[in-house]
Amino acid sequence: MTPLEKGTIYELRIYDAMPGRLPALLSRFENHTLQIWEKHGIRQAGFWTTLIGASENNRLTYLLAWNSMAEREERWSAFLTDPEWIVIKAETEKDGQLVQNISSELLAPTAFSSVK
């Protein structure tokens, strides 16, 4: 078994918002995205903004928890093609895009991690 076949997989996602657009991005997550994720069974493991660092004024970092790569593919694809999400994304970006860059990494906990 590979690390991706056993235990929870965490997806670290980092969004660099367009200058001045972090409040709108946070609002979209809080008021829309999380409810759509819930409908699709997408589990968040935490959200953070950067207090001190190179991107302290425009970065949102969050973790998603997945049972498997297959679950991630199925649920993330369903979310991205959800008609409600497509409408919300367009509405919240009518004054310009919110995100200039997204990075994503899939993480497997080590044997000694407090998070499994």
Residues 58-90: tens digit of each pLDDT: 999 999 999 999 999 999 999 999 999 999 999
Q: What is the pTM of this model?
A: 0.90
pLDDT for 31: 98
pLDDT at 2 over 80: no
Confidence of residue 6 (pLDDT cuts 50, 70, 90): low
Q: State the DSSP string of 28-68.
A: HIIIIIHHHHHHHT-EEEEEEE-SSSTTTTTEEEEEEEES-
Cβ count near 69 (within 10 Å) = 13
Mean pLDDT of 5-14: 87
